[in-house]
Amino acid sequence: MRVSELLTFGLLQAAASIASPQEARNKKVTPSKRPNHAIAPHHPSKPLPSSPDRTKTCIIQAKGNGTDDSAAILKAIKDCNNGGHVVFPKDQKFTIGTALDLTFLNHIDLDIQGTIQFTNNTDYWQKNAFYQTFQNATTFFQLGGNDVNVYGGGTLDGNGQAWYDLYAKDIYILRPILFGAIGLKGGRIEDLKFRYSPQWYTLVANSSDVVFSNIDIAGGSVSKNPAKNTDGWDTYRSDNIVIQNSHIDNGDDCVSFKPNSSNIVVQNLWCNGSHGISVGSLGQYVGEVDIVENIYVYNISMSNASDGARIKVWPGAASALSGDLQGGGGSGAVKNITFDTMVLSNVDYAIEITQCYGQKNITLCNQFPSNLTISDISIRNFKGTTSKKYQPLIGYLVCSSPKVCSDISIENIDVKSPKGTNLYTCGSIEGIEKQVNCTVGGTKGGNSRRGVELW
């Protein structure tokens, strides 16, 4: 039962109060000052909307002992919508065991000082989490609307261990995403800790003019079953997004630009254990047109990762990467993408461009070239070392046909393998051999060099 149903049946128990700022201070609850971190050094292509001051304050008190606080949270948010400031006081632990649809928000600040933990009731969440249509993604909650700010220095905890263990038994389960910005038009998500997400940490879908700053992401498995597909951010059908000044320790893409992501700035990130900063995967679904354009990635520290900069596109014919991820045959374009300044340490490939994502048979991939074009790509100012995994190679630059790849510039790359080499596998990219040290063929061929790898 979702919270909207609880309200219908009149089961809501009030655990929130509306107070003036002075009354809040009298209750020894101090609302946080909105951070508004500077966007620097690079700026989005369009100005961000202003966010007026809030005029009322709602304070939530956790029930404790793992009791579901969802109904009280919804009441406080509704009471303080349209110009208010909702405070989750520090040193309190709030439990959410009910799916919250918060796509109605308008001019509101959510001040999370304490900890919000989602229950590990996997049966409930598989049935009630919000289905987001793309790649079977689901979210614990949906946060959307107009002019919404979330901050406070607190923690969102996805209680992921039960999900990591369950996924090891059944790859077809639907694991919720920790933070879902769905249809958010204007907002800032700042000064928060994200922990133990069952799947991706953040999905930004159908949203625009949103800034993420000073987000700390971490949380792995304590059992033999790893935390898989824990992307830091995935953007989808979204425009004018900034992701900056954050620390990400995860097990999949640090940031991934999914279909129809545009005008995005990613800067000043520390990424560890990830699959790199990735465009894609794209072209997974027949009949879908995937566009990713105008992306600027700047000043990234990338350690213990599979990739630094990566562009991954499905081939023109269907293939299967794993039981729960298969596709190919979609169309679209990747254009005006810049990766500028990255420091690498123990990264398998410094740079990877592939149009055979998910297809282990490279001959078949070349027979059915990708329907997506890749053009106007600039990758520059990289330094550091790769891992031993593919040495003497440090990169993989292979398109399925020279007709669909053009204007790819790679310059000032000071990256070497542990043996001191700087070779790349190259193929079907016109002029690439004049920019990097190419070896034709490489090792193990295409994406077969990695085992199963998701999203």
The CA R_g of the chain, rounded to the nearest whole Å, is 22
* Terminal C-alpha separation, the chain: 30
Give Dmax (Cα) for the chain.
72
Provide the pLDDT for residue 358.
Answer: 77
Least confident of 113-122, 256-265, 280-289, 357-366: 357-366
Residue 334 CA to residue 259 CA, distance in Å, equals 10
- 3-class secondary structure, 445: coil
The amino acid sitting at 192 is L
The amino acid sitting at 222 is V
Asked whether the predicted pLDDT for residue 455 surpasses 90, the reply is: no
Nearest one of 336, 257, 260 to 45, comparing CA atoms: 336
pLDDT in tens, 391-439: 999 999 999 889 999 999 999 999 999 999 999 999 999 999 999 999 8
Provide the pLDDT for residue 344.
Answer: 98
Per the CB < 8 A criterion, the answer to whether 312 and 337 are in contact is no
In a domain, 9, yes or no: yes
Asked whether the predicted pLDDT for residue 26 surpasses 70, the reply is: no
Provide the pLDDT for residue 2.
Answer: 54
Work out the average pLDDT over 259-268. 98
Per the CB < 8 A criterion, the answer to whether 149 and 110 are in contact is yes
pLDDT in tens, 121-141: 999 999 999 999 888 899 999
Work out the average pLDDT over 155-175. 97
Angstrom distances, CA of residue 86 to CA of 34, 79, 105, 189, 405: 12, 9, 12, 14, 49
In a domain, 287, yes or no: yes
Which of left, alpha, beta for 341 (phi over 0: left; psi -120 to 50: alpha)? Answer: left
In a domain, 99, yes or no: yes
- CATH of residue 356: 2.160.20.10
Per the CB < 8 A criterion, the answer to whether 265 and 42 are in contact is yes
Work out the average pLDDT over 19-29. 59
Domain boundaries, position 27: 3-37+55-450
Helices (H), 60-130: 70-80, 122-128
Name residue, tokens 């004018």.
240
Work out the average pLDDT over 174-200. 98
Work out the average pLDDT over 274-288. 94
Other CB atoms within 10 Å distance of the CB of residue 22: 9
Residue 349 CA to residue 401 CA, distance in Å, equals 21
Confidence at 363, pLDDT banded by 50, 70, 90: confident
pLDDT in tens, 200-225: 999 999 999 999 999 999 999 999 99
71 phi/psi in degrees, rounded to 5: -65, -45
Asked whether the predicted pLDDT for residue 305 surpasses 70, the reply is: yes
In a domain, 92, yes or no: yes
In a domain, 251, yes or no: yes
Per the CB < 8 A criterion, the answer to whether 425 and 397 are in contact is yes
- E strand or H helix at 163: helix 161-169
In the numeric block, which tokens belong to residue 5? Answer: 């149903």
Please tell me whether the overall predicted TM-score, pTM, comes out greater than 0.75 for this model.
yes
Provide the pLDDT for residue 319.
Answer: 75
Residue 328 CA to residue 368 CA, distance in Å, equals 10
In a domain, 455, yes or no: no
- 3-class secondary structure, 293: strand
Asked whether the predicted pLDDT for residue 5 surpasses 50, the reply is: no
Work out the average pLDDT over 57-81. 98
Residue 250 CA to residue 177 CA, distance in Å, equals 14
Buried b (16+ CB within 10 A) or exposed e, 129-165: bbebebbebbbbbbbbbbbbbbbbbbbbbbbbbbbbe
Query: Which residues are part of the catalytic machinery?
Result: 275
Residue 159 CA to residue 60 CA, distance in Å, equals 21
Asked whether the predicted pLDDT for residue 449 surpasses 50, the reply is: no
Other CB atoms within 10 Å distance of the CB of residue 398: 25
Least confident of 94-103, 296-305, 322-331, 427-436: 322-331
Provide the pLDDT for residue 221.
Answer: 97
Provide the pLDDT for residue 18.
Answer: 62
Q: How many domains does one find in the chain?
A: 1
In a domain, 43, yes or no: no
Asked whether the predicted pLDDT for residue 158 surpasses 60, the reply is: yes
Asked whether the predicted pLDDT for residue 7 surpasses 70, the reply is: no
- 3-class secondary structure, 40: coil
In a domain, 180, yes or no: yes
Nearest one of 390, 379, 440, 447 to 414, comparing CA atoms: 379
